[in-house]
């Protein structure tokens, strides 16, 4: 469903509950949701086009970036959104899945689950490295471009970005496939089910996150770089 300014927020959440993730990453969960998108955005001082771009990407729609609509303040909102998503991955989702896999490992004690846990540990290490790169290098670099502060030396490359995203998504998809098709759980299937549900939620958010970076954030950075030269 392509979301329009006149749509009711409650209705679009009802159609796709994963939109709650987008609203939470914008830190707007406490605002009333029985409003149209336009009114909701007014209430929480959010530019409508920013909100629409994000929720439409969460709804898996193609979003066209109109550079003229995006001012510096809007790009800061986008950076905060991305940073908040990182917190959700690092502080909530990964530790949760990690604990469940650990419990599964203790209860089942098979070589597959042991390896699966190792696979997940390596995957997490890789993701954290990418998220840290964004937080410590990319975000400060973009803020430097926005506020014309001292140029920050960076090897930022959109190709590397995309490569990281593909690797992260492939490993997550493998983890899901292994759990769904190839690993036996005996009496502990409730643990496997919980892990699989968390993985689906994580995958949904990560895919939207990557698309937001590739279709909005990176082109906006490139535009800023052009304007600054």
Partner 1 sequence: MTKYSLVIVEPSELINFAIKEHLKKTSLFASISTFFEWEAFVQNTTRHSNSILIINPLLIVNKEKEFEKLTQKQVYLSTIAILYHHLPDAIIRLFGDVFYIHEPISKLTQKINQCLNEQKSNVNTKQILSEREKEILKYLAKGLSVKEIGEKLFLSPHTVLSHRKNISAKTGIKTIAGLTVYAVSINLVSIDEIDT
Distance between CA atoms of residues 101 and 97, nearest Å: 6
Mark the segment that binds partner 1 (CB under 8 A) among 1-9, 21-29, 111-119, 132-140: 111-119
Judged by CB under 8 A, the stretch of 14-22, 91-99, 107-115, 131-139 that binds partner 1 is 107-115
Cβ-based nearer residue to partner 1, 64 or 148: 64
Considering beta carbons, is residue 62 or 153 the nearer one to partner 1? 62
Q: Which residue has the tokens 């530790």?
A: 95
Q: Does the protein bind partner 1 through residue 177 (CB under 8 A)? A: yes
Dmax over CA atoms of the chain, in Å, equals 62
Strand partners, 36: 8
Long-range contacts of 8-14 (CB under 8 A, 24+ apart): 8/34, 8/35, 8/36, 8/37, 9/33, 9/34, 9/35, 9/36, 9/37, 9/40, 10/34, 12/37, 12/55, 12/59
Question: Interface mask (CB under 8 A) for partner 1, residues 188-207, using x and -?
Answer: -------------------x
Angle in degrees, CA 79, 84, 85, rounded to 5: 100
The smaller minimum CB distance to partner 1, of residues 13 and 178, is found at: 178
Q: Does 183 bind partner 1 (CB under 8 A)?
A: yes
Binding site for partner 1 (CB under 8 A): 62, 111-112, 114-116, 118-119, 122-123, 162, 166-167, 169-171, 173-175, 177-178, 181-183, 207, 210-211
């Amino acid at each position: 469903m392509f979301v329009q300014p006149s749509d009711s927020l409650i209705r679009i959440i009802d159609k796709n509950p994963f939109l709650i993730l987008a609203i939470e990453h914008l830190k707007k969960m406490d605002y009333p949701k029985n409003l149209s998108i336009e009114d909701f955005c007014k209430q929480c001082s959010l530019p409508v086009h920013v909100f629409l771009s994000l929720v439409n990407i969460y709804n898996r729609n193609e979003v066209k970036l109109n550079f003229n609509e995006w001012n510096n303040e809007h790009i800061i909102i986008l950076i905060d959104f991305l940073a908040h998503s990182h917190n959700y991955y690092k502080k909530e989702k990964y530790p949760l899945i990690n604990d469940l896999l650990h419990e599964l490992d203790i209860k089942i004690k098979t070589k597959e689950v042991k390896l699966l846990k190792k696979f997940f540990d390596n995957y997490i290490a890789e993701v954290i490295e990418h998220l840290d790169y964004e937080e410590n290098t990319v975000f400060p670099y973009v803020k430097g471009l926005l506020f014309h502060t001292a140029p920050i030396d960076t090897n930022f490359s959109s190709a590397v970005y995309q490569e990281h995203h593909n690797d992260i998504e492939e490993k997550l998809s493998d983890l899901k496939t292994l759990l769904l098709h190839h690993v036996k759980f005996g009496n502990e299937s409730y643990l496997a089910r919980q892990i699989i549900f968390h993985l689906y939620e994580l995958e949904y958010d990560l895919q939207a996150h990557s698309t937001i970076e590739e279709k909005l954030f990176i082109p906006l950075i490139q535009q800023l770089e052009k304007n600054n030269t």
